[in-house]
């Protein structure tokens, strides 16, 4: 996904308003599946580490793959966030985009400061499922980072 051709194709499909909705959904599903697979792989690696922690040095278990999901999130984050609004009439695009964002937040792949304004906007969606899911994310961030949401919304209004 991080190859030049694939990156350009994904960015194009997520940002071009004339892009077929099916393709936009497929790109978002691909990202969602990739992040879910990476999460499962990391859980297995953590379990393996717990079994071998007394025998092996953590430095020696260097994991090249672990940075790919962070890189993927950074490269495509803006396009993922914006895809929510580009295809505003398509509930399936908005739902998948929100699912990818939720997974990125859960995994802690990026700092949530750039995502909060989008989540607040998503909280006004016409679809009640999307509204509820976005509001839950805002509430979780507020619990995890006390006072963060108030500071972020104040700073967003000032810019």
User: For residue 142, how many other CB atoms are within 10 A of its CB?
Assistant: 15
Rounded Cα–Cα distance for residues 78 and 82 (Å):
6
Fill in the DSSP letter of residue 124. T
Q: What is the pLDDT of residue 155?
A: 55
Q: How many residues does the chain have?
A: 159
The model's pLDDT over 84-109, given as tens digits with 9 standing for 90+, comes to 887 656 899 999 999 999 999 998 88
Regarding pTM above 0.75, the answer is yes
Domain boundaries, given as residue ranges, for the chain:
4-158
pLDDT score of 151 more than 80: no
User: For residue 147, how many other CB atoms are within 10 A of its CB?
Assistant: 8
What is the maximal distance between C-alpha atoms in the chain?
Answer: 55
The model's pLDDT over 25-72, given as tens digits with 9 standing for 90+, comes to 999 999 999 999 988 888 888 788 777 776 665 555 555 445 555 677
Asked if residue 80 lies in contact with residue 31, where contact means CB atoms within 8 angstroms, the answer is yes
Q: At what angle do helices 148-158 and 128-144 cross, to 10 degrees?
A: 110
């Amino acid at each position: 996904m991080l190859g030049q051709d694939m990156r350009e194709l994904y960015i194009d499909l997520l940002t071009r308003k004339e892009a077929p909705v099916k393709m936009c959904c497929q790109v978002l599903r691909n990202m969602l599946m990739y992040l879910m697979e990476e999460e499962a792989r990391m859980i297995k690696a953590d379990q393996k580490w717990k079994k071998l922690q007394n025998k092996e040095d953590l430095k020696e278990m260097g994991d090249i793959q672990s940075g790919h999901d962070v890189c993927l999130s950074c490269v495509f984050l803006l396009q993922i966030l914006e895809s929510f609004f580009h295809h505003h009439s398509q509930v399936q695009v908005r739902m998948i985009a929100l699912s990818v964002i939720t997974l990125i937040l859960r995994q802690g792949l990026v700092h949530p400061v750039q995502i909060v304004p989008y989540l607040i906007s998503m909280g006004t969606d016409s679809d009640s499922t999307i509204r509820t899911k976005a509001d839950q994310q805002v509430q979780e961030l507020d619990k995890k980072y006390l006072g963060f949401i108030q500071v972020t919304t104040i700073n967003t209004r000032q810019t």
